[in-house]
Amino acid sequence: NQSTMSDAKALLRQGAESRIYKIEFKGQPAVLKDRFKKRYRHPTLDQKLTKRRVKAEVRAVGRCRDLGVCAPELYDVDEDRGRIVFEYIHGLTVRDVLLKQCNQEGGSYDLSSSKLMQRIGVDLAKLHDGNLIHGDLTTSNLIVPDDSRCLVVIDFGLSAHSQSIEDKAVDLYVLEKAFLSTHPNSEDLVSEILTSYQKRSSFGSIVLARLEKVRARGRKRTMIG
């Protein structure tokens, strides 16, 4: 609703599909996700695809919360313009938490990181047991709020509903790759996540067995180039 939205916008992130802004909405700090028009697509098709993706993202956020995993509250949705307004979460991304700690500890991580990884594993198990695939799991899409009430999962723009063990394994593989490429010496942290995931998920052992095959395919692709 344009009348309740401030014109002042600060760009937080630019992606291939959308721009993320910090705005003010009804006097509260908020996040605007704006799926901009794609000039290379026919306007009618572009609007159709945008509406479908906005609906899917809104459903995924609601599903996430229903499964007992924290996600930002939805403030406003405009399907025609491809816009969603979310609650602004005051806190640090897991990426920033880990980079800060790694710098302070000289390349290592302490017990608080271990507990955080266990929490990530539990929350991902809840999502996957509910057949919700995030699609873009990175340490930038997980936020530790200032009040530490829970871990908040954001950006469901590539999410999907799927019972597929393969899809769940690929979701974990994406997160694993994000860790290893962004955070030095983070192999033990990834192990903490996967151990926690396996304990909590009804399909944990099956998904982790498939993850091994996904890794093998990834290594093969790297070798072949």
**Alpha carbon distance 205, 209 (integer Å):** 6
What DSSP character marks residue 5?
A: B
Residue 1 burial (CB count, 10 A): 11
DSSP 9-42: -EEEEE-SS-EEEEEEETTEEEEEEE----TTS-
Q: Does residue 136 carry a catalytic annotation?
A: yes
Cβ within 8 Å of residue 43, ≥6 positions away: 37
Which residue among 34, 123, 136, 171 is the active-site one? Answer: 136
Residues with catalytic function: 136
